[in-house]
Structure 1
Amino acid sequence: MRHILSVLVNDQPRVLARVANLLGRRNFNIESISVGESEEPGLSRMVIVTHGDERTMEQVSKQLHKLVDVIKVQDLSSHPVVARELMLVKVGANPSTRTEIAGIVEPFRASVVDVGSNTLMVQATGDREKLDALLDLLRPYGIKEIARTGVTALPRGPIKVPS
């Protein structure tokens, strides 16, 4: 089962490396990880997507709590969440196909953010399925490069934290 973990950590050097190392040593695959500032000064929020059953995820949470710089761990998978990913994709586009490509990206609420002589760069946000669907439609034009941020997520409304 896919899990989204929200981990509040001290904003210190090497914290990301320690978290990734801990998960790697225990043979957990990190599907994506994103880190950025949080609402609390001096703290960062890591959003980690991984796979495992409930027992495995409980062990992951316990192991993360053992790290000095980890303040709070939440498994968002059992709560309603808003989860998004950002993607930039550079696609082959000559002057005659640019309008066609613009017509493809518009229903996805994506936008063209750069135009080269033979390429367009498209920016899109959304869930993984939406971004994958957009990529499938752009593939016939020739994908030159892709950069994706990985998932970032927050729970909807108040979340109950077990005591």
Structure 2
Amino acid sequence: MQQHTISVLVNDQPGVLTRVATLFGQRGFNIDSITVGGTEEQGLSRMIISTGGDDRQINQLMKQLHKLIDVISVTNLSENPFVSRELALIKVTASPSQLAELNGIVEPFRAAIVDVGPSSLIVQVTGDTEKIDALLVLLQSYGVIELTRTGSVAMARSIVPVTAAATV
């Protein structure tokens, strides 16, 4: 099963998220990740949804999404290059004497220690799913107490035509 990232532009109205999530459930799709937030235009929100399925299934799902009230547009970001990021906060068991050691682990990931307590600390990391998963593997030996992750936010890359790129 192939992973797809779908962008759904909707009117910012109560019940829209419920209708979209219900449609996924009724069609037998699992939502692996969903984020919703405001857009550059007042009164509109953008949903970024990660789900699995083959191309035919995803195309059918997108047609069904288009039929929902308050859905303005639906785009399969996975069809073209796109940028995707998520945020994770990871609480790790650590004594103050381990702070420098842990800082050395998180620094290559461009992560930051954002809170230090007497027996734990919180690491903030942003990036693609694989980057966050890799940092989690390294932090497991210290003892991950708590983990929270946002869903992916994504946007299509700006595509430069080949002829224009050649003259630059």
Shorter-chain TM-score range: over 0.9
The one-letter amino acid paired with 2:8 is V
**Rg (Cα) greater in structure:** 2
User: Match of 2:127?
Assistant: 126
User: Match of 2:137?
Assistant: 136
Query: What residue ranges of structure 1 are gaps of 5+ in the alignment?
Result: none
User: Match of 1:149?
Assistant: 150
SS at match of 2:97: coil
Query: What residue ranges of structure 2 are gaps of 5+ in the alignment?
Result: 161-168
Counterpart Cα distance in 2 of 1:122 and 1:65: 39
Structure 1 length as normaliser, TM-score?
Answer: 0.95
Give the deviation of 1:158 after TM superposition.
5.6
The one-letter amino acid paired with 2:95 is N
2:59 matches 1:62: no
* 1:21-74 deviation line (CA, Å, top 9, x unaligned): 110011101000000001111000000000111110111101101101100000
* 1:68-110 deviation line (CA, Å, top 9, x unaligned): 1100000000111110000000000102211111110000000
The one-letter amino acid paired with 1:120 is L
| Percent of aligned pairs with the same amino acid | 60
Counterpart Cα distance in 1 of 2:120 and 2:11: 41
Q: CA RMSD in A?
A: 1.1
Would you say how many aligned residue pairs link Structure 1 and Structure 2?
A: 159
SS at match of 1:117: coil
Matches within 5 A, 1:74-113: 74-113=75-114
Between Structure 1 and Structure 2, the one with more helix by share is 2
